Chain A
């Protein structure tokens, strides 16, 4: 009995000492910059639920090895033509091949080594020694067909037949471009001789991209006493970052690293040693967000990424939009107020408890002023306050600059406004009067553009679709397919004109998608190829026109708008 008591006493002392050691260890901070990465498989052992919810996301599949399982495109021997080039997509075993035969006998052959993206379209990379190159062909998931990457960005058609340079216009190096935001702990490893020794901790955006390097976390939490102390007594583990435990500002920095295009103060170090930012740090220590007036070598080369009032108009600038939002003045409001990596759907990563209007009604009440506008069930706060005035990855996205609708201001800035994006047959004047009638005391924000607002009765969205700059045209095309109130024959007339005549394939693609949305039984995607030559497109449009009622556009007005559009060219390969 005495021996048993001594044994129990020794056990109790040992337990107490172990507990004391755990508490001391937890109280010491850890410099995560000195910690190694372990990869998401190591996280799964203990965090199966979080691993599973992350595994569903498109973050995970941002970059992958080109295995049969990971390649989405139909490399089944099919081919497609683009401005004199014939692309052949084939597969031999696990090897996915892309061949390109040029109009003058040129030949290009690539073996796909990695894939990038998987949400809207999947891009392909080929390896050439120490470098990976983005190939000129991508797979469109919704349309289930390949297309030239020249159609993914806001650049006009090259002249047909396309030269090698034109065909490979968007063939870019992965090592010092895509690598940064599509992988964990990217390091281009640019050497003095121009070669690369590129390393990433893990392909795709995985656990440690947001939580920081996990080697210490894994090693120390092999101790069950430490784990149970963290489970039941305190949850602040210095070996890892929990973005939910950070301030809204620091947590948003984790997202802003990639969802807010940035400029580093030391490009050489970035290209040689990689991104020094680790989650939990102040992002401003290493880089600053790009703004409309940000300069590079004295030139404001980023201004086209923004509307003239400084509102971002491309994706991957959501961080800037958040910073510009009045809501961001509330220190508790950040990316995580609406989004979650784990408790969300993969498409928009909206938190379950932020769906519908709930993200807004947490702080704002739908007071009497909002009742003035008859709000139908499907109209959400974000439809008016976060309109789709952002272009990216062949789609229209919500602005993250949370704002009050001002149709006249938006028209002067040359962008769609929340009112006429929904009331697609209406003019800016109509929208502005309605706004004044419903909300006579609504505030206005300085920073409007200087465009001529003289109207001729043409709906605002049609004016933008035919006469706006390429981003405005793409967004207007998309809006026509989504509008709740639209004359379909009139919209079809405008969309057909865009599909046939717009010089930007991205605009034509969105116009055709909108056309399909206006059809009761959508045409097959093959009915129109936005990348085809103008005569092929004209023939396809004629066939589509024959299937339904289309109100033709006024030729004079259309020509005037097209001339106006031609004065605002864009070239954005981002």
Chain B
């Protein structure tokens, strides 16, 4: 893995982890202060929870890639980072002005990001078997 790719993954990973953790604190605050617009809307709750969880989880995956990534190709890192950004953003956008019990159209970013993450993970897994 070249240094630029590693640095980009470290920057993205730690930043995403921070943002994801911050979102987690915000959601806890919504529970603590009984924020009706969050608590009374199960779809919003689910989507924001998914956004928080995926932001944190995928940030850890990107950080792992920066340290022990098996595929040195920069494209793999880019796919992983873009995917790791799109998934939580898609979930978060899906919570905005959503129709009854369906996410709003912004959620389409989540499956797109998921595909990118899966492709990146497949490339990493394949590279790991070749080491």
Contacts and interface: CB of A to CB of B under 8 A. Distances in A.
Interface of A: 45-50, 224, 227-228, 231-232
Contacts of A48: 42-43, 100-101
B102 A227 contact: yes
B101 A231 contact: no
A50 B102 CA distance: 14
Contacts of B42: 48
A48 B101 CA distance: 7
Nearest to B101: A46
Contacts of B118: none
B122 to A, nearest CB: 14
B9 to A, nearest CB: 22
B105 A46 contact: no
Contacts of B100: 46-50
Closest A-B pairs by Cβ, 7 of them: A231-B99, A46-B101, A49-B100, A48-B101, A47-B100, A227-B102, A48-B42
B34 to A, nearest CB: 18
Contacts of B105: 228, 231-232
Nearest to B104: A231
Contacts of A227: 102
Interface of B: 42-43, 99-102, 105
Contacts of B43: 48
Nearest to A47: B100
5 contacts: A46-B101, A46-B102, A47-B100, A228-B102, A231-B105
Given A49-B101, A224-B102, A231-B102, 18 more contacts: A45-B101, A46-B100, A46-B101, A46-B102, A47-B100, A47-B101, A48-B42, A48-B43, A48-B100, A48-B101, A49-B100, A50-B100, A227-B102, A228-B102, A228-B105, A231-B99, A231-B105, A232-B105
A116 B102 CA distance: 35
A227 B101 CA distance: 11
A16 to B, nearest CB: 16
A508 B100 CA distance: 48
A228 B43 CA distance: 15
Nearest to A235: B99
Contacts of B99: 231
B112 to A, nearest CB: 11
Nearest to A231: B99
A50 to B, nearest CB: 7
B85 to A, nearest CB: 19
A227 B99 CA distance: 10
A45 B100 CA distance: 10
A228 B98 CA distance: 11
A18 to B, nearest CB: 14
Contacts of B102: 46, 224, 227-228, 231
A49 B99 CA distance: 11
A282 B101 CA distance: 32
Contacts of A50: 100
Contacts of A47: 100-101
A231 to B, nearest CB: 4
A228 to B, nearest CB: 6
A286 B105 CA distance: 43
Among B42, B43, B100, B105, chain A packs the most CB atoms within 10 A around the CB of B100
A232 B99 CA distance: 9
Nearest to B119: A4
Nearest to A49: B100
Nearest to A48: B101
A241 B99 CA distance: 18
A14 to B, nearest CB: 14
A364 to B, nearest CB: 34
A227 B102 CA distance: 9
A262 B42 CA distance: 42
A45 B101 CA distance: 8
Contacts of A45: 101
B43 to A, nearest CB: 8
Nearest to B102: A227
A5 to B, nearest CB: 15
A49 B43 CA distance: 11
Contacts of B101: 45-49
A50 B42 CA distance: 13
A12 to B, nearest CB: 13
A527 to B, nearest CB: 43
A49 to B, nearest CB: 5
A231 B98 CA distance: 9
A232 B105 CA distance: 9
B110 to A, nearest CB: 12
Nearest to B99: A231
B115 to A, nearest CB: 10
B53 to A, nearest CB: 22
A231 B101 CA distance: 11
A549 to B, nearest CB: 50
A332 B105 CA distance: 34
Contacts of A231: 99, 102, 105
A278 B43 CA distance: 32
Nearest to A46: B101
B79 to A, nearest CB: 11
A318 B100 CA distance: 32
A204 B118 CA distance: 48
A532 to B, nearest CB: 48
A46 B103 CA distance: 11
Nearest to B111: A224
A47 B100 CA distance: 6
A4 to B, nearest CB: 10
A211 to B, nearest CB: 14
Contacts of A224: 102
Contacts of A49: 100-101
Contacts of A228: 102, 105
Among A45, A50, A231, A232, chain B packs the most CB atoms within 10 A around the CB of A231
A2 B124 CA distance: 21
B91 to A, nearest CB: 15
Nearest to B98: A231
B106 to A, nearest CB: 11
B46 to A, nearest CB: 11
A426 B99 CA distance: 56
Nearest to A224: B102
Nearest to A4: B119
A227 B104 CA distance: 11
